[in-house]
Every structure is written in structure tokens, then in C-alpha cells.
Amino acid sequence: MTNITFYYREGCWLCDKAEEMLNGLKEKYGIILKKISIDSDRETSELYRFDIPVLEFEDGTALHGAIKRRDLLKKLEENRRDSRAPGLIPPGG
């Protein structure tokens, strides 16, 4: 499972595109998406207003703005590896 916090704003086409990519990869990567509107509070709005969409991963890294599919796939793979115990060989790997 891969937990991702998704900061977005209603009506943001980049946010819609990022969510579409995530939805297409949910099953393969076991994505659990926590969506947070940056308009939900002033602090969040100030923090992310120029960066949306923002995808925060379990390892503390993030992608933001015009997110490219290859960058998203790379982060998903990195977080998939981070969630495994060291020394385990993945199925088919």
C-alpha cells in the first residue's frame, strides 16, 4: 500500500490531471489517497497556493505543479520499495 496526501483546489485543471493519473494507478500500486482542499483553511492555502497540486509521499518527498507521469511512477516505485522489509525480493523480481 502506498499512502499519498493530495493537496488540491476545486477547478484546478492540473489537480484534475494528477488525480486522473493517480486513479489509473491505484490498483497496481495500492494507492490510498487522502485528499485535502487547500481552501479548507488559511494556513494550508498560504502554504500550497502556488504549488498545487501537491502529492506528499510516505517517505517525506513530494511532487507538485505540472506532474509528469514518469516522475509519479518513479515516486510510486520508490515508496513501494521503502515499504518493504530490507532484503526481501519482490514477487517476480
Per-residue pLDDT of the chain (93 residues; tens, 9 = 90+): 899 999 999 999 999 999 999 999 999 999 999 999 999 999 999 999 999 999 999 999 999 999 999 999 999 999 986 544 444 444 444
Q: What is the reported pTM?
A: 0.82
Residue 24, phi-psi category: left (phi > 0), alpha (psi -120 to 50), beta (remainder)? alpha
Single-letter residue type at 6: F
Residue 25 CA: distances (Å) to CA of 22, 28, 38, 48, 91: 5, 5, 23, 24, 18
The neighbour count for residue 63, using CB atoms within 10 Å, is 19
Domains and CATH numbers, the chain: 2-82 (3.40.30.10)
What's the pLDDT score for residue 26? 94
